[in-house]
Every structure is written in C-alpha cells, then in structure tokens.
C-alpha cells in the first residue's frame, strides 16, 4: 500500500485529467490508493489529487470560447423541451434559423418547473425539473452541473461534448434552499439559488432569482436581491477569476400610476421598448430606487450589500431597455370588457324610477410594442402584446420587464445585447438570453 501513488492521465490537451493508482514497485495499476488515503492523513484522496494536481491550463483554441445564458419561466408550457428552447434562442441565427454555431457553455435558469411549497400544488407532479432538465435534454451537450432546491428557481450548466473536462462539477457549490423566501406562495416558493462552478477560465457563479410577487412596491423583493448578492459575494474566485451571471424572473411590476391618475401610456398607440422605458421608471421594489441604482450600490436596505456592489457592481445586460416588456404576454390585440350603459329609458323600482342600465361589451386595447429586429431571436420585429387587464393595486399585472440578466463587469464587456424569443404560446413570459465571448475574460 505504501508504494502506490496517484497518477494523472490526460485524454485531452487541457482541463482536468483523470486519476489512476499506480504501484511504484512494479509500475502496475492498483486500487490501493483510496485505502491509503483513509489511513494516511498526508496522502490525498482521488478527488483532492485530481483537483489540485491534474489541471492543465487551456490556451488558444483549446479553451472554452463562448457562452449563452438564457432564463425562462415555465419552460414546460412555453417550449416543451430544453432542446426546443435552445434551438429558438442560443442556437438561432439572425433569421431565426439554426446557425450551426454552438456555444461552448449554455447556462439555463428556469423558474416554475419546481412547484414545491407548503400549501397546494397545481398537479400531482410538484417538481418536473429533472423531467425536462437532464443529461439527455440537449443534443450535442452534456449537463456538467446543476443547482436545485425546493424552490421555483433551479439552474443547470451544459457544456459541448468533448469539452466536459474543462468544468469541474465535483466541487460544485449550491445554496439549495438557503435563499428561499418564506412563506411560500400558493403555487411555488420564491427566492433565489446560487451556484459556483470551477472552470478552465476561472470560477463561474450563476444566480437564478424568482422574485417576490407583489405590485411595484415590495420590500421583500429588495431583500431577496440583496440576499442573492451576499451569497454570490461569498463564493471565492478560482485562479484569480470570478464571472457572475445573475438572472431570472425578478417579478418587478412597472408603475402605471393610480386608477384616478394613470401614467400617460396610451394603448391605442404602438410603442417601442425604448419609448416605454423612457416613460416608466425601473423600480425594483422600494420608493424611487431604480434597478441600476441597486446594482451599483448607490441604494439599498443593507449597508453591507451596498458596499459589496460599490466595489464590484453588477450590470444589466446591454439593450435590456430596448426590449418590449416580457410579461404578461397575450396573443390578442385587445380584451373584451363589459360595462353598464344607460339605454335612455327609465324603470320603476321600490324607491321610485331609475335609469335602465344595460350590459355592453367593449374592446379594450392591449399594449402593442415592437422590439428591434436585432434583439429578436427570429430576426423580425413583430407586434407584441402585453395585457392591460390589471394595472393597479398590490397585485397589479402591468406590462413589465420581469426577465433580466445581470453580469459582472468582465462579462458585461464580453457579452452582446440581450435578446428575446416570442415563438412560444405568448400567454405569460418571454425567454431572454445573451451571447458572450470568453476569449478576453
């Protein structure tokens, strides 16, 4: 046993190799090293030796060059499979067709595949995440790491086949239920989940956040954001690098004013995303504090988090505010409402005569918007509609930019404009995604 030693074997040019046990006496391969690691404190176990001694840096064409991060609420209902989602987002060209270029990494942030909660569920299957997100979910890719817990937000990272050894999932960090909000909602548990994954280019940190459901004002939503930032901050860099992606359905609600004092958004007109952004403040959940102010550490509830973000700010993916709102989508240009209208006659009642009111159906326009063609996965700027049915109150459902992706500075510089796909049912959320180059990070 004392003569056995771990040996690295590299089947590829860089990344982490495999480990085998060699007998120093005769050069043969043996299975004694694990036994030695259990009784000899100075002798590392297989995983420790692999991580610390079997890594070869990647240079030039050898390394990971590209990444796509995508967030989607209800992948099951909107796309039916991971493969369909990725074909229509990360693998689409400017005309909405498969482009033949495959990103080396795909970060998938899902919400509402896991309906775990303490109240009621929508079906017998409370968690369908493993049904849709697994190692066979995406052709040409392997699932290298997943971060799952008993909450709505669950995450997976896929890597192109042949490059699996450039990620090291054996030391994956995952917060699981640590950042789950309580109490849970009736259909799922909100909150965030944060993952740390060693890669050949450094530590990849992915936060996935399904925000508190409320109107424009929500202190809970701010607290969730700050908890996610704290958890991201606690994850250590690897080889001096730490790349951060924080995304998801953050559940913000645009402020459309009060019913007796509405904002000047006229649904009889068509808008662009940037025109709407100019009129609607981007409030996370407290007063007039904007999302960008939170991300820079300018405002916040926690002084500690403000200090973290002042030193290491996060940035909204380029072009987020030229997208049209991503919720609540509808395929219809109008809704049918019923009003009571006087027909010009009177009727007798117990207390005298009164106006005769009759029911009348009217068409109420939904909000029409156009996203720039270069930010559409289809390559076409088409009319999108978001519901104008419930604009006011603590449970308002205003047209909102609920899907977001925030990036650390190095990734922000290396990523293109955020994009969206509308080739789904158009009855709830849009998927948004961003392509990033890893060559300069």
State the CATH number of the domain containing residue 318.
Answer: 3.60.10.10
Same-domain status, 292 and 429: yes
Q: What is the pLDDT of residues 388-435, one digit of tens each?
A: 999 988 888 999 999 999 999 999 999 999 999 999 999 999 999 999
The structure's pTM equals: 0.93
At 264, the pLDDT band (50, 70, 90 cuts) reads confident
Question: Is the per-residue pLDDT at 96 higher than 70?
Answer: no
In order of 35, 71, 182, the CA distances from 405 in angstroms are 46, 8, 24
Q: What is the pLDDT of residues 153-193, one digit of tens each?
A: 999 999 999 999 999 999 999 999 999 999 998 889 999 99
- Residue (of 160, 164, 167) closest to 195 by Cα position: 167
Strands, E, within 175-233: which ranges? 191-199, 202-210
Same-domain status, 85 and 134: yes
**53 touches 6 (CB < 8 A):** yes
Same-domain status, 165 and 85: yes
What is the reported pLDDT for 10?
80
Same-domain status, 115 and 8: no
**326 touches 78 (CB < 8 A):** no
Burial of 9 (0-12, 13-18, 19+ CB in 10 A): exposed
Task: Give the torsion sign (CA, 30, 32, 34, 40).
Answer: negative
**161 touches 141 (CB < 8 A):** yes
Question: Is the per-residue pLDDT at 100 higher than 90?
Answer: no
Q: What is the mean pLDDT of residues 291-305?
A: 98
CA distance 73 to 232: 22
Domain that holds residue 44: 4-56
Same-domain status, 278 and 253: yes
Same-domain status, 407 and 423: yes
Q: What is the mean pLDDT of the chain?
A: 93
Burial of 95 (0-12, 13-18, 19+ CB in 10 A): exposed
What is the reported pLDDT for 60?
86
Same-domain status, 104 and 136: yes
**241 touches 441 (CB < 8 A):** yes
- Residue (of 274, 211, 122, 268) closest to 429 by Cα position: 211
CA distance 72 to 126: 18
* DSSP state for residue 159 in the 8-state scheme: E
Same-domain status, 10 and 90: no
Q: What is the mean pLDDT of residues 6-14?
A: 86
What is the reported pLDDT for 95?
64
Q: What is the mean pLDDT of residues 27-43?
A: 84
**323 touches 432 (CB < 8 A):** yes
Percentage of the chain exceeding pLDDT 70: 95
At 29, the pLDDT band (50, 70, 90 cuts) reads low
At 56, the pLDDT band (50, 70, 90 cuts) reads very high
Same-domain status, 239 and 355: no
Task: Specify the number of domains making up the chain.
Answer: 3
Same-domain status, 351 and 402: no
CA distance 214 to 226: 17
Question: Is the per-residue pLDDT at 348 higher than 60?
Answer: yes
Instruction: Count CB-CB contacts under 10 A for residue 29.
Output: 10
Same-domain status, 285 and 409: yes
Q: Greatest CA separation found in the chain?
A: 112
**Count of CA atoms in the C-beta half-sphere (13 A) of 51:** 15
């Amino acid at each position: 046993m004392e003569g056995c030693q771990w040996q690295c074997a590299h089947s590829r040019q860089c990344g982490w190799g495999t480990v085998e046990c060699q007998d120093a006496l005769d050069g043969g391969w043996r299975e004694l090293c694990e036994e030695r690691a259990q009784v000899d404190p100075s002798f590392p176990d297989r995983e420790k030796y692999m991580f610390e001694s079997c890594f070869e840096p990647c240079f030039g064409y050898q390394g990971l060059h590209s990444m796509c991060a995508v967030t989607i609420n209800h992948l099951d209902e909107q796309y039916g499979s991971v493969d369909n989602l990725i074909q229509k987002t990360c693998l689409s060209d400017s005309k909405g067709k498969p482009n033949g270029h495959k990103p080396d990494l795909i970060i998938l942030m899902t919400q509402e595949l896991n309906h775990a909660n303490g109240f009621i569920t929508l079906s017998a299957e409370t968690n369908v995440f493993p049904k849709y997100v697994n190692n066979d979910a995406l052709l040409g890719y392997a699932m290298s790491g997943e971060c799952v817990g008993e909450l709505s937000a669950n995450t997976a990272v896929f890597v192109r086949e042949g490059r699996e050894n450039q990620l090291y999932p054996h030391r994956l960090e995952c917060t699981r239920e640590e950042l789950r909000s309580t109490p849970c909602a009736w259909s799922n548990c909100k909150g965030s989940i944060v993952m740390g994954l060693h890669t050949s280019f450094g530590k990849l940190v992915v936060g996935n956040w399904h925000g508190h459901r409320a109107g424009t004002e929500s202190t809970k939503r701010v607290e969730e954001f700050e908890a996610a930032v704290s958890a991201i901050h606690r994850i250590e860099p690897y080889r001096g690098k730490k790349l951060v992606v924080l995304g998801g359905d953050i559940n913000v609600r645009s402020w459309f004013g009060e019913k007796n004092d509405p904002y000047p958004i006229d649904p009889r007109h068509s808008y662009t995303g940037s025109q709407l952004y100019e009129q609607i403040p981007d409030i996370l959940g407290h007063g007039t504090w904007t999302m960008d102010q939170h991300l820079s550490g300018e405002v916040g509830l926690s002084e500690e988090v403000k200090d973290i973000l002042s030193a290491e700010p996060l940035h909204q993916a380029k072009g987020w505010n030229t997208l049209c709102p991503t919720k609540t989508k509808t395929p219809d240009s109008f809704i049918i409402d019923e009003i009571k209208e006087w027909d010009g006659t009177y009727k007798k009642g117990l207390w005298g005569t009164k106006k005769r009111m009759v029911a009348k159906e009217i068409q109420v326009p939904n909000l029409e918007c156009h996203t720039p063609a270069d930010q559409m996965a289809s390559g076409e700027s088409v009319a999108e509609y978001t519901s104008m049915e419930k604009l006011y109150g603590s449970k308002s459902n205003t047209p909102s930019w609920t899907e977001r992706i925030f990036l650390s500075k190095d990734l922000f510089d290396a990523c293109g404009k955020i994009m969206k796909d509308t080739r789904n049912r158009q009855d709830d959320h849009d998927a948004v995604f961003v392509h990033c180059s890893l060559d300069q990070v």
